[in-house]
Chain A
Amino acid sequence: MSAPTLVLIVLAAGTFGLKAAGPLALGNRELPVRMQRVVDVLPAALLAALALVSTLGDGRALTVDARLVGLVAAGLALWRRAPFVVAILVAAAATAAARAVG
């Protein structure tokens, strides 16, 4: 069996377990109130981390590049109550412009 196929099998099986663990283990039960409060705010932590790490992260290094210009532009657009799609397009345009200039 080739190396890519082996990696594929191991990674697919492991990923299945990681993805299914929450829904399968918790089942159809309600979460306790305290746990519910954690779950209420948990997405905020994950979304903030995803936004920042995908903007500043470059492998295991932190870099400031045109992506940050895009994120700030998206933030400004959202602050001015721009719709979701507009914020994304503004981010792409600002990043492209920053690259063209820089």
Chain B
Amino acid sequence: MPDAANPRDVAVRRAIHRQAASIVAAVAPFGIVFGASAADSGLSVLQAIGFSTLVFGGSSQFAAVEILGDGGSVASAAIAGLLLNVRSLAFGVVLAPALTGAIWQRAAMSQLMIDESTAVATAQDELRWRRYGYLVAGMGVFVVWNATTVGGHLLFSGAGDLITDLGLDAAGPAAFLALLWPRLRDHRQLRTAVVGGIVAVLLVPLTPPGVPILAAMIGVLAGRPGVPADRGDAS
């Protein structure tokens, strides 16, 4: 565990709490919208909570519920939802060194694996802080996501306009950019980010949702993993 008396540890922990808090706050409006759209698609409040606890992946939940609401088949709803979660495979590879422990611990911790917890984790340099950031952000989002799902289901609808009026739908993208920012000083990271971002955007019209994010992994080649380099300026 981090040393409570060590000033650097205190500072890092505070920074992680700040990152996690703003990300959790950004998730709340979308939880409300998910709850509302679940209600709109004819899901019971229990089914809505089931999605938010057991699937726990915003975009895949939205996709599955939207397809159900439009009268789509069980298969198409499930496959669309799964495709949006395929990026968890990549997140898992990135996070595995930080998520060590007994097999049941690794299985349990992996369920908090979402964009937000992965982003906070990977913004940290040391493995122990990656783990801490992952757990803090993951648990924070889990609690707020489920609470707001229930709230949104009960409120039913009307939140969609408010979210866009307040510009809160830009909070997610901005959070991803803010977490990426410190990496961009390193040329290897910058090249990777540019190529990955371009590939993903170009693939949006061509592939099913979720695939562009996964395909962005190609950007790693631009980071030239075969070439050794000093890692001194990586952070």
- Which A residues fall within an 8 A CB radius of B? 2-8, 10-12, 14-16, 18-28, 30-31, 34, 37-57, 59-62, 66-67, 69-71, 74-75, 78, 83-85, 87-88, 90-99
User: Any chain A CB within 8 A of the CB of B213?
Assistant: yes
Contacts of B68 in A (CB 8 A): 3-4, 7
Q: A47-B122, A96-B167, A99-B165 are in contact. Are A88 and B174 (CB under 8 A)?
A: yes
Q: A12-B54, A21-B89, A41-B188 are in contact. Are A7 and B204 (CB under 8 A)?
A: no
User: Any chain A CB within 8 A of the CB of B18?
Assistant: yes
14 contacts between A and B (CB under 8 A): A4-B41, A7-B68, A10-B74, A14-B85, A20-B111, A45-B197, A45-B220, A47-B183, A49-B219, A74-B174, A84-B175, A87-B177, A91-B171, A92-B170
Contact A55 B173 (CB under 8 A): yes
3 closest Cβ pairs, A-B complex: A22-B92, A45-B196, A70-B170
Of B86, B90, B200, the most chain A CB neighbours within 10 A belong to B200
A77 to B19, CA, bound (A): 16
Contact A44 B170 (CB under 8 A): no
Contacts of B2 in A (CB 8 A): none
Contacts of A75 in B (CB 8 A): 177
Choose from A40, A47, A96 the contact partner of B119 (Cβ within 8 Å).
A47
A75 to B181, CA, bound (A): 8
Contacts of A31 in B (CB 8 A): 96-97
Min Cβ gap A52→B in Å is 5
Contact A71 B200 (CB under 8 A): no
Contact A18 B74 (CB under 8 A): no
Choose from A3, A12, A20 the contact partner of B110 (Cβ within 8 Å).
A20
Contacts of B110 in A (CB 8 A): 19-20, 22-24
0 or 1 for each of B157-196: is its CB under 8 Å from A? (1 = yes): 0000000111111111111111111011000111011111
Contact A53 B201 (CB under 8 A): yes
Contact A61 B205 (CB under 8 A): yes
User: Any chain A CB within 8 A of the CB of B78?
Assistant: yes
